[in-house]
């Protein structure tokens, strides 16, 4: 069993809960997830099994897409609907569509975020949420992330009400906090804000329509169709530069040998997927000291 299960994570489970359940269903320990989702968030959660556990770091680095509901006028301790209310400021004047679009445009591209206190980011060897639970607020390191697209999904021209809600589509880089993005949108509009709902619609190149629920996975396993729950490693790593090799070089790659960089990949910077007869044999990266040479980062013996 080697491959990626395109799981549609249900609400109420942690990402680790999902891994434990898949381990039990498949009777295997070699299972991992790529890209944590909070318990109250549903959506695409790639589950890597067998040899595919070696690609977790690459899948995690790929961009993600979300559909988020933002509530203007209320802020919370966690920046989402799970936290305690910190501040309320009723919206006295209607907010126009143009005002919201202007705020979204300002936050599109490369932006700087400060991770929320209730997050898994480590500072001095301790996760921020551990400090938060102790009532300690510490200085958090800024991080630069990229918002590739930030689109308003509601058709309203005018947004009325004491507290205003609207939905956005977000396409972003690894490390982006949508909760924090919601707060930043509120700040630009002049109000406290939080993320009231979130669905991840794409992760690691896997789209919502490709996903399976736990019920569907269990049904396929019961019917002896376990192979149908997996996406091949190749279909998930299609975003990586591709290097197709021949027989002689394939044996060297299987043994983790250094190999020369082909001309068409000389100026790539990231990892390179090495293929043999349509299957990924390994992922290589540029050698840190030997120019023009690739060194293995992961070799897929069982693929």
Are 178 and 250 in the same domain?
A: no
Are 76 and 185 in the same domain?
A: yes
- Residues of the chain below pLDDT 50: none
What is the pLDDT, as a whole number, of residue 148? Answer: 97
- Tokens standing for residue 156: 């309203």
Are 172 and 276 in the same domain?
A: no
* Distance from the Cα of residue 17 to its chain's centroid: 17
What is the pLDDT, as a whole number, of residue 243? Answer: 95
Are 49 and 26 in the same domain?
A: yes
CATH number at residue 277: 2.30.130.10
Residue partners of 276: CB distance under 8 A and separation at least 6: 244, 245, 250, 253
Residue with tokens 């318990």: 39
Task: Give residue-wise pLDDT tens across range 51-87.
Answer: 999 999 898 888 899 999 999 999 999 999 988 999 9
What is the pLDDT, as a whole number, of residue 302? Answer: 67
Number of domain units in the chain = 3
Are 75 and 186 in the same domain?
A: yes
Are 88 and 168 in the same domain?
A: yes
Are 253 and 281 in the same domain?
A: yes
What is the pLDDT, as a whole number, of residue 247? Answer: 86
Residue 77's nearest CA partner among 39, 113, 128 is: 128
Are 214 and 294 in the same domain?
A: no
- Tokens standing for residue 158: 């005018």
Residue 252 has a CB neighbour count (10 Å cut-off) of 12
- Tokens standing for residue 295: 């060194």
Residue partners of 209: CB distance under 8 A and separation at least 6: none
Instruction: Write down which residue in 213, 233, 253 finishes a domain.
Output: 233
CATH number at residue 19: 3.30.2350.10
What is the pLDDT, as a whole number, of residue 303? Answer: 63
Q: Which are the catalytic amino acids?
A: 38
Domain residues for the domain of 92 are 65-195
């Amino acid at each position: 069993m080697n491959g990626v299960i395109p799981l549609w994570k249900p609400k109420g489970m942690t990402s680790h809960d999902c891994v434990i359940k898949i381990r039990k269903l498949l009777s295997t320990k070699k299972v991992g997830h790529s890209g944590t989702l909070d318990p109250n968030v549903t959506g695409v959660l790639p589950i890597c099994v067998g040899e595919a556990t070696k690609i977790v770091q690459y899948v995690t680095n790929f961009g993600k897409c979300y559909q988020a509901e933002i509530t203007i006028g209320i802020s919370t301790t966690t920046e989402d609907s799970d936290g305690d209310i910190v501040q309320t400021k009723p919206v006295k004047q209607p907010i126009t569509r143009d005002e919201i679009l202007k705020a979204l445009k300002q936050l599109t591209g490369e932006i700087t975020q400060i991770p929320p206190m209730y997050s898994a980011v480590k500072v001095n060897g301790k996760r921020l949420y551990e400090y938060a639970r102790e009532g300690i607020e510490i200085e958090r390191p800024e991080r630069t992330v990229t918002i590739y697209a930030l689109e308003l999904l509601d058709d309203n021209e005018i947004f009325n009400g004491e507290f205003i809600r609207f939905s956005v589509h977000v396409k972003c880089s690894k490390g982006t906090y949508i909760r924090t993005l919601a707060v930043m949108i509120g700040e630009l509009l002049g109000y406290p804000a939080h993320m009231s709902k979130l669905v991840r619609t794409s992760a690691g190149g896997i789209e919502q329509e490709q996903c399976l629920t736990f019920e569907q996975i269990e049904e396929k396993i019961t019917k002896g169709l376990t192979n149908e729950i997996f996406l091949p490693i190749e279909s998930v790593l299609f975003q990586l530069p591709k290097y197709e090799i021949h027989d002689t070089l394939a044996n060297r790659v299987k043994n983790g040998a250094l190999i020369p960089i082909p001309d068409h990949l000389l100026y790539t910077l990231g990892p390179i997927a090495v293929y043999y007869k349509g299957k990924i044999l390994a992922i290589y990266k540029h050698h840190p000291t030997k120019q023009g040479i690739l060194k293995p980062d992961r070799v897929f013996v069982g693929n």
